Structure 1
Amino acid sequence: MSNIKTIFVAFASALLAGCSLGSDNHDQPSNDGSRASQPDAQHEFVEKVNGYLANAKRSGATSEQIAILEQAEASAEVSIEDYEASVDATLDCLHESGADALDNGMIESEGLSIRQYGVPVSAEESHPRAIGDGVTIHRCVAEHSYWIEIAYQLQPSSREVRQEYREGFREELLECYSSRGFEVDEHGDITELMELGMYAYESDTIDANCLAEIGY
């Protein structure tokens, strides 16, 4: 199957990767350089979901997607059951529309369970739905799961899973930086350390992509 847009990549946590439908903006550090506390993270997430709700309504989301987002706003959480059900609804819609959609089931991305599926570009072009200025996706994705997928992957518990996964690369990453004379705070936040290294590589400050070298 060719010319498939893989939807989960739009929300997954590939660090600093370009995405077709959205991006994963990492937690912002507090004034002392640490990540936001759990209550703060939950508050920030609820504020984001409030925005997702408004956007979902504007882009023609189903009542089911709206209801799950409202529950997420109230509980600061999207359950994996609601996440999977919303993607199932998207895939059912895609198949009913005649799209030859790809479904690879649940996979792990940075320790987080993610549903990997895809939509043929030609199908998306035939059934576009605007979700923002100059941004369109297949109407089935917009109607059934788009905003839920974002919320699921950006909720505090998902961020914690990914952060723990990244921590497993700290020692190797620091060794790679040290071998190239790239000085960083070895006790710094692991996500920020990864971002610093990627930026340094892309700006030719360091001659190696340490993330790739350590198998991240």
Structure 2
Amino acid sequence: MIRVMLVDDQVLLRAGFRMVLSAQPDIEVVAEAGDGSQALEVLAHTEVDVVLMDVRMPKMDGVEATARIDGPKVLILTTFDLDEYAFAAVKAGASGFLLKDVPPDDLLTAIRQVHAGDAVMAPSTLSRMLRRFAAHLPSGGGDGAVAGLTPREHEVMIMVARGLSNTEIADRLSVAEATVKTHLGRVLAKLGLRDRAQVVVYAYEAGLIVPSNRPKV
């Protein structure tokens, strides 16, 4: 059972999400909050697997709340495709983002993917966000840490940054999916990253991937 928390200042919107999620046999809405501050208070005494987090809320927004959450996966829900706050939340540790008008089936799939450890993020959307909000990014400088990766770990990191799933990477490298997971785990550990979403951001910031999705030469 995937335990979900809804964080949004719009009560009716939370009710709509709760109705969709509660109809699923493997998903349970265990908590709700109207802003980031309240969400942190609830999380202190509630077991949650995935948090559906709004971006713009009173008292504490979704970006700050996401940065303070340790443990549950965070899936950002935003109104705009190119929302700088949504990208900032991904940098803060969110596992991805969706638009609030996402079809129910896509929302359910995203929750399950995030719970499984995957990132819900279209590479094309991320590229547009990076181009538009490049001024908000700190200067690169991750090459030193990247140098500590083995050639195969570097290869896996680039493929993850391009949006490939573990299964797709395994097919391209002709290895078992478990092997890909092992390499990815080492990449996360060596670079001090939390999940696949942060791998994508790191690769762009370090200049290893450019908006056209071509690797750095």
Query: TM-score, structure 2 length as denominator?
Result: 0.27
Larger radius of gyration: 1
Query: TM-score, structure 1 length as denominator?
Result: 0.27
